[in-house]
Amino acid sequence: MLAPNKLDALIVTSPPNVRYLSGFTGDNGALLLSDGATALFTDPRYEIQAAEETGCKVIVARGPLLERLMTEVRRKHLRRLGFERDRISYREYQSLDECLAPSAGLQPVVGAVEQLRCLKDAGEIELIRRSMQIAVRAFEQAAGRVRAGMTEADLAAELDHRMRTGGAEASSFETIVAAGKRSALPHARPGRAPIREGQLVLIDMGALADGYASDMTRMLYLGEPARKVRQLYAAVLEAQMAAIDAVRPGVPAALVDRVARRTLRGYGFDKLFVHSTGHGVGLEIHEGPRLGRHSQDTLEAGMVVTIEPGVYLEGFGGIRIEDTVVVTSSGAEVLTQLSKELRVL
């Protein structure tokens, strides 16, 4: 990363990037990467943990972290310094700038570590697989207990609890449970209204285990689904499976998005699909590559992405089906080992 950007050093401040490069999982750390040397700066609370987790040289700062880091920069006469433009606060930037030697300069770097993180090694894929298994098990345990009268918030809490007791350290994002008309809000917050007969229930959830996220969406229906629900569901399912079929190395991510949209257009539902088809998953729930209309990314073996087309009808409800999949050398491996049929309760 240093040579192509003509840098003497790169300062990494975002926790997932620090974790990815060093193994350090604490939330106050910064890395100084220079030719052949990487130092992790943290505060005294993390002294023992940092020594256990990372092979980098650990420097414990007694005062502000970035000021201590800049002392090291001056001591080593590092002049061209990259920093993570999209991951740093204005205050942190000021503190780097104030400590800069007159002959040195700061250069914004965008997405360098994120680019590396797009490609997962076998160990990372195993962690995501496990995270997905925890989410799937929690879903199966909780879905069987859904009854009319239960609130969206109750069901979300049940799913979160089961993920935690199943081995997750947290949910990978705020669990979405949206019933009836509210399922037309792609990112609804679980509410206090009871789930009723004759309602669609959208559940979008994922676990965080050993730092790695998973992401899935499934649909329940209480009662006998009307024909319109069945039609919409069948179209989304066909789009989702067609998009997974399109996943393979060398394929533009935008093409996978196009395949999902084209399938929905065949049923006249493409206008109801208001978001992109998917996103990368790893240390963060949303990371590269992007599977959208305007994505410039190309799929490569080792990427882990979601495939999640959906349709949303105001006043009626929404349907989304989402799996987390690994791009393999020949296609896609679906990590979400769970039936995609509409679950009728």
If one asks whether residue 306 binds Zn ion (CB under 5 A), the answer comes out as yes
How far the first Cα of the chain sits from its last, in Å, is: 53
Listed ranges 80-88, 140-148, 201-209, 256-264: which one lies at the site for Zn ion (CB under 5 A) = 201-209
Q: Give the separation between CA 159 and CA 152, rounded to whole angstroms.
A: 11
Cβ nearer to Zn ion, comparing 29 with 288: 288
**204 in Cβ contact with 160 (< 8 Å):** no
Cβ nearer to Zn ion, comparing 84 with 257: 257
Where helices occur in the chain by DSSP H, the ranges are 15-22, 47-53, 65-75, 90-98, 112-117, 122-143, 152-165, 227-246, 253-265
Listed ranges 14-22, 115-123, 223-231, 305-313: which one lies at the site for Zn ion (CB under 5 A) = 305-313
Query: CA–CA distance from 300 to each of 41, 303, 325, 331 (Å)?
Result: 33, 6, 12, 10
If one asks whether residue 152 binds Zn ion (CB under 5 A), the answer comes out as no
If one asks whether residue 257 binds Zn ion (CB under 5 A), the answer comes out as no
If one asks whether residue 204 binds Zn ion (CB under 5 A), the answer comes out as yes
Cβ nearer to Zn ion, comparing 194 with 292: 292
SS3 content of the chain, % helix, strand, coil (to 5): 35, 25, 40
Q: Give the separation between CA 101 and CA 90, rounded to whole angstroms.
A: 19
Query: CA–CA distance from 108 to each of 36, 64, 86, 181, 280 (Å)?
Result: 21, 21, 9, 44, 24
If one asks whether residue 215 binds Zn ion (CB under 5 A), the answer comes out as yes
Cβ nearer to Zn ion, comparing 82 with 278: 278
Cβ nearer to Zn ion, comparing 187 with 262: 187
In single-letter form, the type of residue at position 56 comes to C
Listed ranges 18-26, 93-101, 289-297, 301-309: which one lies at the site for Zn ion (CB under 5 A) = 301-309
Site string for Zn ion, 312-341 (x = CB under 5 A): ----------x-------------------
User: Total residues contacting Zn ion (rule CB under 5 A)?
Assistant: 4
Cβ nearer to Zn ion, comparing 22 with 306: 306
Q: Which residues are near Zn ion by CB under 5 A?
A: 204, 215, 306, 322
